Copies of this chain bind each other. A is one copy, B any other.
Amino acid sequence: MTKPRINTMGELSVAIGVSRPTLSRFFQDPNRVKAATVKRIEAGLERVEYVPNFFATRLNRKSTGIIGVIIPYLNDLFFTKLLEQIEKAAMTAGYTVISQCSHSDPAIEARAARTFMSMSVDGALVAPLGNQSDTVVHERLRTRLPFVLVDSRPKTMPNVEYVGTDHDQSTGLIIDYLCRVGAPPVFLAMPRVNFNAVQHENAYCARMQSLGFEPKVIGTESVNDQGHYEAHGEAVLDGYFSRGVFTDRSILCANDRVGIGALRAAARHGLVPGRSRRGGLRIAGHDDYPLCPFTTPALTTVAQDFEAIGNAAVSRLVEIINGAVTDPTNPQVQLFDGVLKLRESA
């Protein structure tokens, strides 16, 4: 019933009467072997069970065919969607993806980087942890192998290839909309755990000033557990609403998860944000978190183009792997536009 198990290519070669190097070539690319031989090998593989040893194949190749990916959190659909897209793009490009999660811990992030170096991955795609990331680790990664940063870029490493969203554009888009339809927005920030947080904040302030409005940022003071954005948004706004503050303002949230918390705070205080209510409370987010269409009211936001970012990151990395020259003093930066998603909350 169960096929006989064969462990090495050598045994396999005697079992089906083809030389071992021919098998080696077959498993790397069947086109490098005569069609008739391919048939014979495939027929042989029907009769026995054999999988080439992953480590042995990688040990002595010039290219491992592996792309390493590091994401900061696993409990955030933003990053899992990004990872999903990256995995699909990499698979299409013929690469195997090994993904690691930093779990909010710089030590784990550093360990993952070391693992990638020790695996001689062909390249690495990293969504950094944020302020606490060990810059030295990233720097070592950059100098040793093809390396592209995704989603957020530390100011401390301006010499790295980068793919992400144009936050000036995307934040500007939603601010313009909010200002056009009603009062200029307050910015509900998130704890400054990563560079996007600061970048968002800065983009908001710049745009407000260029429009001639006074920027107003709230929510930076709260020291929250990492990653609990919803709780943060709710707690901050609950505080203001309790004092009757901002109950009739536009509130732009740093991201949708903060926005979901904001919606919750509004509901708790009997407030219903929405663009239909003139002069009333309006709440908007950023990212187009997958759950936005299902909140009550549905959250108006700016969509990041996960798909484009994932694809661009992979294809740029593959370019570099294939020998594209990168200039550390002038790295390629690809920024994608956000798209306004008008729903109910603003």
Residues of chain A at the chain B interface (Cβ within 8 Å): 2, 49, 51-56, 58-59, 64, 74-75, 77, 80-81, 83-84, 87-88, 96, 98-99, 101, 103, 114-115, 117-120, 140, 143, 230, 234, 260-261, 263-264, 267, 290-291, 293-298
Partner of A2, one of B49, B143, B230: B143
Tell me whether B59 and A56 are in contact (CB under 8 A).
Answer: yes
Partner of A103, one of B84, B264, B291, B295: B84
Secondary structure at the A interface, as helix, strand, loop or mixed, is: helix
Give bound CA distance, A56 to B53, whole Å: 12
Partner of A120, one of B49, B53, B290, B297: B53
Contact residues in B for A49 (Cβ distance below 8 Å): 140
A309: min CB distance to chain B, Å: 15
Give bound CA distance, A248 to B50, whole Å: 59
Contact residues in B for A80 (Cβ distance below 8 Å): 74-75, 80
Tell me whether B77 and A75 are in contact (CB under 8 A).
Answer: yes
A229: min CB distance to chain B, Å: 10
Tell me whether B291 and A260 are in contact (CB under 8 A).
Answer: yes
Most B C-beta atoms less than 10 A away, residue of A54, A99, A264, A293: A54
Given contacts A143-B2, A234-B294, contact A59 B51 (CB under 8 A): no
| 23 pairs of residues in contact across A and B, judged by CB atoms under 8 Å | A2-B143, A51-B118, A53-B59, A53-B120, A54-B118, A54-B119, A55-B55, A55-B58, A74-B81, A74-B83, A74-B87, A75-B77, A75-B80, A75-B81, A75-B84, A75-B290, A87-B103, A98-B98, A230-B291, A234-B294, A260-B291, A260-B294, A264-B294
Give bound CA distance, A84 to B296, whole Å: 29
- Chain B's closest residue to A82 (CB) is B74
Tell me whether B118 and A53 are in contact (CB under 8 A).
Answer: yes
